[in-house]
């Protein structure tokens, strides 16, 4: 990078410092980037919030070489980052910025620039092979959650039983039961299978919700298979009962016990009844 022409002024090393960890991480992000980004930019959004993004060098940038990583700041903001220290703390969820900025906390976390391409932040951004597997590592913290989910599942099961036994309207009952079952299934998936702890990362270099990439298509297909076939096939039977349309099942003539006395042929009965009606 050093052979490239440098625009602007090269800042001194103590103006802005990246710790060794932060440097390593930033280098990893740059290496994994596929958009042609070559620098880490310190950027202020429209609210004055500070953050890091991967970017390309611009002509008026102030450049701070930090070992293998080049950090740039827009020339206009260069003074604002004086004394800034960038660290990487995995246990705190990613990069942290320390310094004094006008009108801001001395210590600024890094969650800005969500819409920005190539933003660097957040635990999910960790390009380690185990991204997403840290999700369950805070065992003690989740125990309470697990028990709450357990309680919710039990309560929902009880409600299901109540719905099944109490509600008479078949359509309402089925709708209620399906919704309850889906809620329970979602709880198991989100909490016990740790889907909730997958970081909803917006960082291209991170491992974007990879579980969902595997899960969403089959779930959609499952719904398509079960729900879209229903009205079609259902037109012949329960559909009418459920949705209040006249059933296509032939109605028997009204009146009279529509059963067969001993000795009469079963198959011919209905025809016989209709025949009698016609004669009347």
Partner 1 sequence: MSHAAAVHETKVEPNEGPPITPGKLAMWLFLATEIMFFTGLIGSYVVLRIGSKKWVTPYTVEVRKTNGDKVEGESRDDSKDPLVLTSQIEGEPEIRVPRAEIAKAADGSFEIEHRDPLNIPLTAANTFFLICSSVTMVMALAAIQRGDRAGLHKFLWATILIGALFVSIQVYEYRKLIHEGFVPAASIFASCFYVMTGCHGAHVSGGVIYLTGIQIAAYRGKFSKTENTTVELAGLYWHFVDLVWIILFTVVYLI
CB of 98 to partner 1, least distance (A): 29
CB of 227 to partner 1, least distance (A): 9
Pairing mode, if any, of strands 16-18 and 84-89?
parallel
CB of 180 to partner 1, least distance (A): 7
CB of 272 to partner 1, least distance (A): 12
SS3 39: strand
CB of 108 to partner 1, least distance (A): 28
CB closer to partner 1 out of 102 and 218: 218
CB closer to partner 1 out of 7 and 187: 187
CB closer to partner 1 out of 65 and 163: 163
The alpha carbons of the chain give a radius of gyration, in whole angstroms, of 33
Q: Distances from the Cα of 25 to the Cαs of 39, 94, 257, in angstroms?
A: 13, 9, 83
> Which residue's entry shows tokens 């003690």?
140
Yes or no: say if 247 and 241 are a contact pair by the CB < 8 Å rule. Answer: yes
CB closer to partner 1 out of 76 and 230: 230
CB closer to partner 1 out of 7 and 159: 159
Nearest to 108, CA basis, from 87, 126, 79, 77: 87
CB of 274 to partner 1, least distance (A): 13
Yes or no: say if 226 and 241 are a contact pair by the CB < 8 Å rule. Answer: no
CB of 262 to partner 1, least distance (A): 6
Q: Residues 75-87, buried b or exposed e (16+ Cβ, 10 A)?
A: bebbebbeebebb
Three-class HEC string of 195-255: CCCCCCCCCCCCCCCHHHHHHHHHHHHHHHHHHHHHHHHHCCCHHHHHHCCCCCCCCCCCC
Element (H, E) at 53: strand 50-55
CB closer to partner 1 out of 76 and 154: 154
């Amino acid at each position: 990078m050093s052979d490239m022409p440098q625009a602007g002024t090269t800042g001194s090393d103590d103006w802005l410092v990246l710790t060794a960890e932060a440097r390593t991480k930033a280098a990893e992000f740059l290496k994994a980037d596929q958009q042609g980004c070559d620098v880490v930019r310190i950027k202020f959004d429209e609210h004055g919030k500070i953050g890091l993004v991967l970017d390309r060098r611009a002509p008026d940038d102030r450049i701070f070489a930090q070992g293998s990583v080049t950090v740039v700041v827009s020339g206009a903001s260069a003074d604002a980052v004086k004394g800034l220290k960038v660290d990487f703390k995995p246990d705190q969820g990613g990069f942290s910025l320390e310094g004094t900025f006008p009108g801001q906390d001395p210590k600024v976390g890094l969650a800005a620039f969500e819409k920005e391409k190539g933003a660097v932040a957040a635990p999910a951004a960790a390009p380690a092979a185990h991204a997403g597997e840290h999700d369950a590592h805070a065992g003690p913290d989740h125990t309470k959650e697990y028990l709450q989910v357990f309680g919710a599942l039990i309560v929902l099961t009880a409600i299901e039983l109540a719905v099944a036994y109490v509600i008479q309207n078949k359509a309402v009952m089925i709708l209620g039961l399906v919704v309850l079952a889906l809620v329970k299934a979602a709880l198991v998936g989100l909490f016990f299978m740790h889907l909730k702890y997958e970081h909803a990362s917006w960082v291209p270099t991170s491992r974007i919700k990879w579980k969902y990439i595997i899960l969403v298509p089959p779930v959609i297909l499952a719904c398509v298979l079960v729900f879209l076939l229903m009205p079609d096939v259902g037109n012949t039977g329960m559909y009418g009962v459920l949705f209040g349309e006249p059933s296509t099942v032939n109605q028997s003539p009204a009146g009279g016990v529509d059963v067969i006395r001993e000795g009469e042929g079963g198959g011919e009965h209905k025809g016989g009844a209709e025949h009698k009606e016609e004669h009347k």
